[in-house]
């Protein structure tokens, strides 16, 4: 049987509910088995406990019968060899062993009588399955799930062997036309495994080995579930849910009746045969699922009821209804997503992994990251071809949080084999992935792979020789069959005379970034959709640097080990960031680092926040051809100045805060139009009309108002409006200091959007005609530490007498909900402080007080016994910091 509808769980070694295809428990439920007496036997039994593992030289032992009795470690399953070693305190994550090139054995004892079915959701990578010293299964791909029917007669020993990759890497295959520098060794193209751990300079060399996805044994209860296939579609205004449920054992259709409910809508199911229930339920005038930036990500609970001698009710999780299409534009060169017939500007980041060691991460880790992404205004994450297929929990949480998922198939950069055996592996893994994720509304784009076309084009191959049947025939046919509701693209990047052309189709834009182009290039490149962009070595905050590295020196080996770099390049991404530090801020990075290392780090954090804000303001402006941008990357895989806008401990970096200033659904931005002054851009992505007021103010010396205007306005639903600042002011003013008639008249222009009803600030944008950071003054900053209204938290009240540039907060035990922001003078702002969440195990090592974690929001609640915050508030144009606590 091809288990193409399996649903791997996400937790490392956790006792999560066993799940069949798409039958995911609601994401808010704790990951424990149902409490009803009959329920646990209906779902497959997770084989999570009692495992041990042993590492040996390659092919030192050919059979489990020969294995030594000593040297075994307790092993979490699902998990990896690396996670077993980490649990035992034997893993040096900075200098991990080459795990993929040894053999590794896992074993567990099974107890039972009669026929059973074992289900392996993922074995990384060349794996053998043995039962009582008899080999029963070989697996060649970590991305393929397997079923194995066995007979138990009391006790049996299940053994897994994960063989060294060396023989597969040295096997004879047709010669590749190109060898990407990204991956080592280049013959990894022949093996179906993740590239994580095999990309020097990109991520730590922690290689994927072991039973990384759950192993299950299907129960012997009469109603035990085998596979569940749950899908949704829209028919005009109605939503239709379809279910195909297969049982392990046959049923008598005349006795067992079944119904399916979606919300308040109920329909009877029919028996296709003695093992299979099918049917539909129609939801009249169904509420649509939206990305959170454009509406509510509405989900309906789905419940199965089985009735023979008694009625049993089973939650099958939640499901949403949406329609997603691609608009290619009048010239065919656009790539614009339309969700429920509404154009959506897609913005977000490229996913790496919640935990490189386990390749999964816990629900708390995933929720924490998704909450940060959503709060920053992101509405899309891309799971790239260099990574892997994520767990169903990942996609269920994306549904819940209203985040679109761009999903590459696990193919990247290589000139892949074109033989029948390799194609068969790809077909099986892709079919299984598409079927098990068919229920998820968040899946928005399916992409053949990453940078394969680009590599071929850069190698010099003509268009006719670049095409690969995997991307042009096999995968699109599978998508059309299994997920016709999701648009397919052959590669990222693709489109235009070169696949990586910026002005047509999908591109990877690093003009501002690795190619060190000026900010003007953002407009000149005429980007349509950037599936990757803006890679910088983003400096973490002070707490992470001191905890993880114990140093702030840029040339310390520990620092440089975490800085990304391309193999063979004479530069790294520290150099990229330093280029913009010099060109935008007018400082000499090497000298500043030598004379004032702390200042260098602060400016390094500020410049990436500024660049990201400026680039996305340009891309979101009225008249821009751009329809989306995904920054490279969301989170770091090791502590340090990596590409991530979230660091490896889960703390947001300045880059994420820079994102948040420009990505909100109700937004004002400013763009510098040179001799035409400033343009004000007003964005309303909501379905409701917005009524408010827009204030435009120019300040000299950070406090003296030299020009201003304030008018009421309304923004139509789903609208984008451009207003000339000159027209809004009604008189000449050199906003950009382009005419240079004498000294510059102002330091900063501030556009503030107010809500008409509440008078509260909805959005604010700032423009500095001169970005120099040399001048620092007494800006009259005051900081008050206050209890929150409910007494269970803290916040800072910050106010200045003069404009404050990039206000940031440093606290060893708390992080600011809002950070790295500009602050207008005489405007008291409240910044909540969030106690460091449980993802940061060392954060409270220096504090004697206890901190209690709550699973509901994955952050620490603060009570009276917890130490009060203590830290400092800085601004990059302030002479000194203000301390609190």
Prediction pTM value: 0.92
Report the interhelical angle of 597-620 vs 573-585 (nearest 10°). Answer: 80
**Torsion (CA) 15, 21, 22, 24 in degrees, nearest 10:** -20
Nearest to 288 by CA among 250, 329, 239: 239
User: Is the model's pLDDT at 523 over the cut of 60?
Assistant: yes
- Cα of 4 vs its chain's centroid, Å: 24
Within-domain flag for 421: yes
> Which pLDDT score is estimated for 555?
73
Q: Does residue 631 share a domain with residue 541?
A: yes
Within-domain flag for 13: no
> Which pLDDT score is estimated for 329?
94
Q: Does residue 791 share a domain with residue 735?
A: no
> Which pLDDT score is estimated for 242?
98
Mean pLDDT of 283-298: 98
Within-domain flag for 773: no
CATH number for the domain including 740? 2.60.40.10
> Which pLDDT score is estimated for 307?
86
Within-domain flag for 25: no
Q: Which three-class secondary structure state does DSSP give residue 32? A: coil
Residues 281, 260: Cα–Cα separation, whole Å: 7
User: Is the model's pLDDT at 118 over the cut of 70?
Assistant: yes
Q: Does residue 471 share a domain with residue 523?
A: no
Q: Does residue 229 share a domain with residue 182?
A: no
> Which pLDDT score is estimated for 841?
30
Residues 547, 549: Cα–Cα separation, whole Å: 6
User: Is the model's pLDDT at 238 over the cut of 90?
Assistant: yes
Q: Does residue 492 share a domain with residue 510?
A: no
φ/ψ of residue 270, rounded to 5 = -120, 150
Q: Does residue 213 share a domain with residue 66?
A: yes
pLDDT in tens, 619-651: 999 999 999 999 999 999 999 999 999 999 999
Mean pLDDT of 747-771: 97
Domain range spanning residue 708? 666-767
Q: Which residues contact 92 (CB under 8 A, 6 or more apart)?
A: none
Q: Does residue 386 share a domain with residue 460?
A: yes
Within-domain flag for 17: no
| Better pLDDT: 148 or 560 | 148
Q: Percent of the chain scored above 90 by pLDDT? A: 81
User: Is the model's pLDDT at 868 over the cut of 80?
Assistant: yes
Residues 345, 531: Cα–Cα separation, whole Å: 12
* Exposed/middle/buried for residue 419 (C-beta within 10 Å: 0-12, 13-18, 19+): exposed
pLDDT in tens, 239-267: 999 999 999 989 888 888 999 999 999 99
pLDDT in tens, 426-469: 999 999 999 999 999 999 999 999 999 999 999 899 888 889 99
CATH number for the domain including 603? 3.20.20.80
Within-domain flag for 212: yes
At residue 569 the predicted structure's pLDDT band, cuts being 50, 70 and 90, is confident
pLDDT in tens, 599-611: 999 999 999 999 9
pLDDT in tens, 582-605: 999 999 999 999 999 999 999 999
Minimum mean pLDDT range among 354-368, 554-568, 866-880 = 554-568
Residues 39, 17: Cα–Cα separation, whole Å: 10
Kindly list the distances between the CA atom of residue 555 and the CA atoms of 268, 441, 551, 560, 596, in Å, as whole numbers in the listed order. 68, 46, 10, 6, 14
User: Is the model's pLDDT at 857 over the cut of 90?
Assistant: no
The total of structural domains in the chain comes to 5
Within-domain flag for 477: yes
pLDDT in tens, 466-498: 899 999 999 999 999 999 999 999 999 999 888
Q: Does residue 387 share a domain with residue 264?
A: yes
Backbone CA torsion sign across 665, 669, 673, 678: positive
At residue 57 the predicted structure's pLDDT band, cuts being 50, 70 and 90, is very high
At residue 865 the predicted structure's pLDDT band, cuts being 50, 70 and 90, is very low
Q: Which three-class secondary structure state does DSSP give residue 651? A: coil
Mean pLDDT, rounded, of the chain: 90
Q: Does residue 384 share a domain with residue 333?
A: yes
| Better pLDDT: 631 or 361 | 631
Q: Does residue 303 share a domain with residue 240?
A: yes
Mean pLDDT of 315-343: 96
pLDDT in tens, 143-160: 999 999 999 999 999 999
> Which pLDDT score is estimated for 730?
93
Query: Among 217, 241, 262, which residue terminates a domain?
Result: 217
> Which pLDDT score is estimated for 312?
81
Q: What are the helix (H) ranges across 467-550?
A: 469, 475-482, 521-524, 542-544
Q: Does residue 560 share a domain with residue 432?
A: no
User: Is the model's pLDDT at 19 over the cut of 70?
Assistant: no
Q: Which three-class secondary structure state does DSSP give residue 73? A: strand
Query: Among 501, 517, 541, which residue terminates a domain?
Result: 501
Q: Does residue 455 share a domain with residue 427?
A: yes
The strands making up 506-509's β-sheet, listed across from edge to edge, are: 488-489, 443-447, 404-408, 380-383, 346-351, 628-631, 529-533, 506-509
Q: What are the helix (H) ranges across 209-338?
A: none
Cβ atoms of 645 and 655 closer than 8 Å = yes
């Amino acid at each position: 049987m091809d288990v193409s509808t399996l649903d791997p769980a996400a937790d490392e070694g956790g006792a999560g509910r066993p799940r069949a295809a798409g039958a995911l428990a609601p994401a808010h439920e704790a990951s424990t088995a149902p409490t009803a007496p009959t329920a646990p036997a209906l779902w497959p039994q997770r084989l999570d406990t009692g495992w041990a593992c042993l590492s040996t030289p390659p092919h030192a032992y050919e059979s489990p019968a020969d294995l030594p009795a000593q040297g075994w470690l307790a092993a979490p399953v699902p998990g990896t060899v690396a996670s077993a070693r980490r649990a035992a305190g034997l893993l040096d994550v900075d200098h991990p062993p080459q795990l993929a090139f040894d053999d590794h054995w896992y074993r567990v004892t099974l107890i039972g009588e009669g026929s059973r079915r074992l289900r392996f959701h993922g074995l990384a990578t060349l794996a053998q399955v043995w039962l009582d010293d008899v080999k029963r299964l070989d697996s060649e791909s970590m991305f393929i799930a397997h079923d194995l029917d066995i007979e138990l007669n009391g006790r049996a020993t299940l053994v897994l062997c994960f063989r060294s990759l060396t023989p597969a890497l040295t096997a004879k295959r047709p010669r590749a036309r190109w060898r990407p520098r990204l991956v080592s060794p280049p013959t990894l193209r022949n093996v179906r495994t993740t590239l994580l751990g095999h990309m020097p300079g990109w991520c730590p060399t922690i290689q994927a080995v072991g039973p990384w996805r759950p192993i299950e044994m299907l129960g012997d209860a009469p109603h035990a579930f085998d596979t569940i296939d749950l899908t949704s579609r829209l028919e005009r205004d109605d939503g239709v849910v379809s279910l195909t449920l297969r049982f392990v054992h046959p049923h008598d259709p005349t006795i067992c009746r079944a119904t399916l409910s979606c919300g308040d809508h109920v329909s009877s199911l029919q028996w296709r045969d003695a093992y299979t229930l099918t049917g539909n339920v129609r939801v009249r005038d169904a509420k649509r699922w939206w990305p959170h930036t454009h509406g509510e990500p509405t989900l309906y609970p789905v419940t199965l009821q089985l009735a023979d001698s008694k009625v049993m009710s089973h939650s099958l999780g939640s499901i949403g209804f949406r329609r997603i299409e691609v608009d290619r534009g009048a010239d065919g060169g656009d790539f614009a997503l339309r969700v429920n017939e509404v154009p959506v500007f897609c913005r977000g980041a490229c996913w790496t992994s919640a935990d490189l060691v386990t390749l999964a991460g816990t629900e708390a880790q995933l929720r924490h990251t998704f909450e940060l992404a959503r709060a920053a205004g992101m509405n899309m994450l891309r799971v790239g071809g260099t990574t892997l297929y994520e767990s169903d929990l990942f996609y269920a949480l994306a549904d819940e949080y209203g985040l679109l998922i761009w999903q590459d198939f696990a193919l990247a950069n290589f000139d892949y084999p074109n033989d029948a055996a390799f194609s068969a592996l790809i077909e099986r893994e892709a079919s299984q992935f598409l079927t098990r994720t068919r229920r998820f509304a968040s899946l928005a784009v399916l992409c053949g792979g990453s940078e394969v076309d680009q590599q071929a084009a850069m190698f010099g191959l003509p268009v006719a020789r670049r095409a690969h049947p995997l991307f042009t025939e096999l995968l699109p046919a599978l998508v059309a069959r299994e997920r016709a509701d999701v648009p397919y693209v052959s590669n990222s990047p693709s489109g235009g005379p070169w696949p990586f052309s910026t002005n047509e189709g999908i591109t990877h834009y690093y003009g501002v970034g690795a190619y060190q182009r000026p900010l003007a290039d953002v407009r000149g490149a005429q980007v349509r959709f950037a599936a990757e962009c803006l890679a910088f070595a983003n400096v973490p905050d002070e707490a992470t640097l001191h905890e993880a590295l114990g140093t702030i020196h840029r040339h310390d080996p520990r620092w440089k080990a975490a800085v990304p770099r391309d193999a063979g390049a004479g530069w790294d991404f520290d150099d990229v960031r330093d280029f913009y530090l010099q060109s935008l801020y007018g400082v000499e990075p090497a000298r500043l680092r030598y004379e004032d290392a702390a200042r260098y780090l602060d400016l390094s954090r500020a410049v990436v926040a500024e660049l990201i804000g400026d680039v996305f303001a340009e891309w979101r402006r009225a008249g821009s051809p751009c329809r989306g941008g995904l920054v490279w990357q969301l989170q770091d895989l090791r502590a340090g100045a990596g590409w991530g806008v979230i660091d490896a401990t889960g703390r947001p970096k300045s880059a994420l805060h820079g994102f948040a200033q420009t990505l909100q659904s109700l937004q004002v931005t400013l763009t510098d139009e040179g001799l035409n002054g400033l343009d004000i851009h007003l964005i309303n992505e909501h379905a409701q009309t917005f009524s408010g007021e827009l204030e435009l103010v120019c300040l000299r010396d950070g406090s003296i108002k030299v020009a201003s205007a304030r008018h009421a306005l309304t923004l139509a639903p789903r609208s984008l409006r451009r207003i000339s600042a000159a027209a809004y002011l009604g008189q000449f003013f050199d906003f950009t200091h382009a005419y240079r008639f004498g000294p510059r008249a102002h330091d900063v222009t501030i556009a503030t959007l107010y809500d008409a009803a509440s008078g509260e600030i909805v959005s604010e944008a700032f423009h500095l005609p001169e970005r120099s950071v040399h001048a620092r003054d007494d800006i009259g900053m005051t900081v008050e530490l206050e209890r929150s209204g409910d007494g269970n938290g803290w916040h800072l009240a910050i106010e200045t007498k003069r404009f404050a540039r990039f206000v940031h907060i440093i606290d060893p035990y708390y992080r600011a909900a809002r950070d790295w922001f500009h602050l207008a003078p005489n405007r008291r702002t409240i910044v909540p402080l969030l106690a460091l969440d449980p993802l940061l195990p060392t954060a409270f090592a220096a504090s004697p007080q206890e901190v209690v974690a709550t699973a509901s929001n994955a952050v620490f609640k603060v009570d009276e016994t917890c130490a009060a915050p203590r830290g400092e508030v800085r601004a990059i144009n302030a002479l000194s910091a203000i301390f609190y606590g």
